[in-house]
Amino acid sequence: MTATVLSGKELSKTLSDELSVKVAAFKDEFGYAPTIAVVRAGEDPASASYARAIEKAAAGRGMAYQLHTLPENASQSEIVALVRELNADHSIHGIMVQEPLPKGIDEAAVKDALSPDKDVDGVHPVNAGRLTQVAPAGRPPMVGPFFVPATPAGGLEILKRNHVEIKGKHAVVVGRSNIVGKPMAMLLLRESATVTICHSQTSDLAAVCRTGDILCAAVGRAQMIRGDWIKPGAVVIDFGVNFVDGQMCGDVAFAETVEVASMITPVPGGTGPMTNVMLLSNVVEAAKNQAT
Amino acid sequence: MTATVLSGKELSKTLSDELSVKVAAFKDEFGYAPTIAVVRAGEDPASASYARAIEKAAAGRGMAYQLHTLPENASQSEIVALVRELNADHSIHGIMVQEPLPKGIDEAAVKDALSPDKDVDGVHPVNAGRLTQVAPAGRPPMVGPFFVPATPAGGLEILKRNHVEIKGKHAVVVGRSNIVGKPMAMLLLRESATVTICHSQTSDLAAVCRTGDILCAAVGRAQMIRGDWIKPGAVVIDFGVNFVDGQMCGDVAFAETVEVASMITPVPGGTGPMTNVMLLSNVVEAAKNQAT
């Protein structure tokens, strides 16, 4: 059996087209564009490049974008002051603070300073808490609107748009970061999967992975998850972004896994291209919440 | 093999004695007692009885207690106004809003109104989010102080005080409530267990339970978890409080399980007696945070 390769690149185009329609409708109704402000500090080239990618994606959807770059030696209080200023600015609907921040900056304190209503990357504890506390899908909502981090939201969207059954399935999430692993686990739990969260301390990780009907990898180690760790017929979502000899690859050994799984996201072209469109979707939701 | 029965009743006495010492030290230093305000509405007899138990436990530790009872027909805005008044009252250090609130009251909105700094039962989304986002135990803290719901905090304390190894073990949590199942899963993840969260949609729950080195039951169904669902030598924490023919029993079939597990909490006398002392410990922490 050879797995179906789930293209996030193709899906992201569909979602981008859908988003453009929503943005146009928003502008018709309210007379202004949903606007994202990106905050970054220092010279990190990956962060600068990511900011440009968001700018390009926003422009492509008809959305407005602002970049606020602080110097490498910006102080904690300068960064927090900028975030507070953006919180109070009614022309900004979503704020994303890019990591890494310069050394010595308390990233948690910066996240805490974000208005949860503008925290379109879902990093504020209120948004993380609402995702943890939300009722299972299909049951009455028990919490208000909230934002989910874009990367795991993109992974879930790939599953849903490819009609992968989640309810009652065993989902194994490898990695427990606040930006991918834990929110992905909470999203899958909300969809009523039985969810196992694994990490560096997990005993016999291969055996645990083999119990997963859905396997999500977010560890940041190139091709760590081997083909014989995969339950035959499993659906594999690879969040890894690693480089080996200048070539991008995921956390899953693709060539081996594609022979065992029923579906798999490639790297590149899988979860990666989904992130920006999910982030920008959150900005449109934020703009709607703030307009009404 | 017969399991060691882990008495929460005995352990709660030890913790209460330790707490009394902390309260006395606090009063010596600051000249006033850590104070909890309990908010309840209506005539629910279980809720009234629970409030009296907290009062008695607080008095026994030298702590101050206030009861605010609203009528059964109290409105949403009256309850929220009371919570806000208590938030602003510097003589109150912890607030617990007892459920159930009267029909038609939006419990989530009431929780949202709580000051996270006084939310000693850990129900505000900020506290749920900090518990989700906190770094694994032993790694640098990435989030500020926060409060964990008392019942799962008591379950973890039973494990720790009985020297149960958690790191690298497979913990299975049955139940995904916001007050027990999900926070217990997050606590075990923080201690670096591999954590599986099960619920009503889990396929072959018995088989999943049998993979647990640590099995936590929080489903609210009398003796649902049978002896042959238990991995031999597992440690079983039973959060269930059910009544069969007027007799209190847990979610785990105790007589069968005690022959298979290595350790088990009884019901009554297990996790139940731990809850109030964990809640009051949070009140003392809150009072300290607010004093400094």
- The secondary structure of chain B as a DSSP string is --PEE--HHHHHHHHHHHHHHHHHHHHHHHSS--EEEEEEES--HHHHHHHHHHHHHHHHHT-EEEEEEE-TT--HHHHHHHHHHHHH-TT--EEEEPSPPPTT--HHHHHHHS-GGGBTT--SHHHHHHHHHPPPTTSPP-S------HHHHHHHHHHHHTT---TT-EEEEE---TTTHHHHHHHHHHTT-EEEEE-TT-TTHHHHHTT-SEEEE-S--TT-B-GGGSPTT-EEEE---EEETTEEE-SB-HHHHTTT-SEE--SSSSSTTHHHHHHHHHHHHHHHHHH-
Main-chain phi, psi angles of A253, to 5 degrees = -75, 100
Q: Is residue B229 part of a domain?
A: yes
Smallest CA–CA distance from A196 into chain B, residue: B196
Whether B152 and B213 have beta carbons less than 8 Å apart is answered as no
Report the gap between the CA of A67 and the closest CA in chain B (Å): 26
β-pair type (A35-41, A64-70): parallel
- Regarding whether B109 and B37 lie in a shared domain, the answer is yes
Q: Give dist(CA B88, CA B93) in Å, integer.
A: 10
- Regarding whether A103 and A196 lie in a shared domain, the answer is no
pLDDT score for B141: 67
* A chain contacts of residue B186, beta-carbon cutoff 8 Å: 132
Is A156 a residue whose pLDDT tops 80? yes
Residue positions counted in chain B: 292
pLDDT digits (tens, 9 = 90+) for A76-94: 999 999 999 999 999 999 9
* Contact at CB, B124 and A125, closer than 8 angstroms: no
Is A292 a residue whose pLDDT tops 80? no
A136 or A1, greater pLDDT: A136
pLDDT score for B150: 97
Q: What is the mean pLDDT of residues A209-216?
A: 98
Whether B146 and B184 have beta carbons less than 8 Å apart is answered as no
* B chain contacts of residue A209, beta-carbon cutoff 8 Å: none
- Residues A78, B129, B90, CA angle at the centre, nearest 5°? 75
Q: Give dist(CA A242, CA A246) in Å, integer.
A: 9
Domain with B230, as residue range(s), is 150-264
Residue A60's beta-bridge partner residues?
A: none
pLDDT digits (tens, 9 = 90+) for B262-290: 999 999 999 999 999 999 999 999 999 99
- Reported for B106-111, long-range contacts at CB under 8 A and 24+ positions apart, including other chains, are B106/B76, B107/A142, B108/A142, B108/A143, B108/A144, B109/B76, B109/B80, B110/B76, B110/B79, B110/B80, B110/B83
Q: Give dist(CA A189, CA A217) in Å, integer.
A: 16
pLDDT score for B128: 97
Is A142 a residue whose pLDDT tops 80? no
Cα→Cα distances B246→A161, B208, B242, B243, B257, Å: 50, 31, 9, 6, 22
If you ran DSSP here, which 8-state letter would residue A225 be given?
B
Closest C-alpha to A148, from A126, A125, A127: A127
Q: Is residue B35 part of a domain?
A: yes
pLDDT digits (tens, 9 = 90+) for B28-66: 999 999 999 999 998 888 888 999 999 999 999 999 999
Is B182 a residue whose pLDDT tops 90? yes
Cα→Cα distances B209→A115, A273, B175, B269, Å: 41, 38, 12, 23
Q: Compare CB distances from A194 to B108, B129, B202 and report the shortest one's residue.
A: B202
Share of chain A above pLDDT 90, in %: 91
pLDDT digits (tens, 9 = 90+) for A87-133: 999 999 999 999 889 888 999 999 999 999 999 999 999 999 999 99
- Regarding whether B175 and B103 lie in a shared domain, the answer is no
Kindly report the average pLDDT of chain B as a whole number: 96
Both tokens assigned to A114: 């974000």
Q: Is residue A39 part of a domain?
A: yes
Q: Is residue B22 part of a domain?
A: no
Q: Is residue A224 part of a domain?
A: yes
Sign of CA dihedral A140, A142, A144, A146: negative
Q: Is residue A42 part of a domain?
A: yes
Non-local (6+) Cβ contacts of A160 within 8 A are A166
Query: In this structure, how many other beta carbons lie within 10 angstroms of the beta carbon of residue B141?
Result: 11
- Regarding whether B250 and B161 lie in a shared domain, the answer is yes
**Which stretch of DSSP H or E encloses residue A23?**
helix A8-30
The alpha helices in A145-258, defined as continuous H runs, are 150-161, 181-190, 205-209, 254-257
- Regarding whether B162 and B253 lie in a shared domain, the answer is yes
Residue B257's pLDDT band (cuts 50, 70, 90) = very high
Q: Is residue B244 part of a domain?
A: yes
Share of chain A above pLDDT 70, in %: 99
What is the domain count for chain B?
A: 2
CB-based burial of residue B224 (10 Å sphere; 0-12 exposed, 13-18 middle, 19+ buried)?
A: middle
β-pair type (B64-70, B35-41): parallel
* Contact at CB, B182 and A130, closer than 8 angstroms: no
- Regarding whether A157 and A229 lie in a shared domain, the answer is yes
pLDDT digits (tens, 9 = 90+) for B118-177: 999 999 999 999 999 999 998 876 667 899 999 999 999 999 999 999 999 999 999 999
* Contact at CB, A168 and B194, closer than 8 angstroms: no
Interface list for chain B against chain A, based on CB atoms closer than 8 Å:
107-108, 112, 124-133, 136, 142-144, 167-170, 176, 178, 182, 185-186, 189, 192, 194-199, 201-203, 208, 211
- Regarding whether B106 and B60 lie in a shared domain, the answer is yes
* B chain contacts of residue A208, beta-carbon cutoff 8 Å: 170, 194
CATH number where B101 lies: 3.40.50.10860
- Regarding whether A160 and A241 lie in a shared domain, the answer is yes
Interface list for chain A against chain B, based on CB atoms closer than 8 Å:
107-108, 112, 124-133, 136, 142-144, 167-170, 176, 178, 182, 185-186, 189, 192, 194-199, 201-203, 208, 211
- Please state whether the predicted TM-score (pTM) of the whole model is above 0.95: yes
- Regarding whether B249 and B194 lie in a shared domain, the answer is yes
Is B7 a residue whose pLDDT tops 70? yes
* Contact at CB, A128 and B127, closer than 8 angstroms: no
Sign of CA dihedral A139, A140, A143, A145: positive
* Contact at CB, B199 and A192, closer than 8 angstroms: yes
pLDDT score for A145: 85
Q: Compare CB distances from B194 to A170, A186, A198 and report the shortest one's residue.
A: A198
Beta carbon pairs, A and B, within 8 Å: 118
Which residue out of A107, A132, A148, A179 would a mutagenesis test of the B interface target, given it has the greatest number of B Cβ atoms within 10 Å?
A: A132
CATH number where A240 lies: 3.40.50.720
Q: Is residue B136 part of a domain?
A: no
pLDDT digits (tens, 9 = 90+) for A20-40: 999 999 999 999 999 999 999
Is A280 a residue whose pLDDT tops 80? yes
Residue A14's pLDDT band (cuts 50, 70, 90) = very high
- Regarding whether A156 and A106 lie in a shared domain, the answer is no
Kindly report the average pLDDT of chain A as a whole number: 96
Is A182 a residue whose pLDDT tops 70? yes
pLDDT score for A76: 94
Q: What is the mean pLDDT of residues A271-276?
A: 97
A244 or B1, greater pLDDT: A244
Both tokens assigned to A277: 């469109």
Q: Give dist(CA B227, CA B60) in Å, integer.
A: 38
Least confident of A45-49, B203-207, B240-244, B259-263: A45-49
* B chain contacts of residue A127, beta-carbon cutoff 8 Å: 129
Identify how many contiguous H helices and E strands chain A contains and give both numbers.
Answer: 10, 11
- Regarding whether A232 and A189 lie in a shared domain, the answer is yes
- Regarding whether A260 and A159 lie in a shared domain, the answer is yes
pLDDT digits (tens, 9 = 90+) for A42-87: 888 888 899 999 999 999 999 999 999 999 999 999 999 999 999 9
Is B184 a residue whose pLDDT tops 70? yes
Query: In this structure, how many other beta carbons lie within 10 angstroms of the beta carbon of residue B60?
Result: 15
Is A143 a residue whose pLDDT tops 80? no
* B chain contacts of residue A126, beta-carbon cutoff 8 Å: 125-126, 129
Least confident of A126-140, A183-197, A267-281, B16-30: A126-140
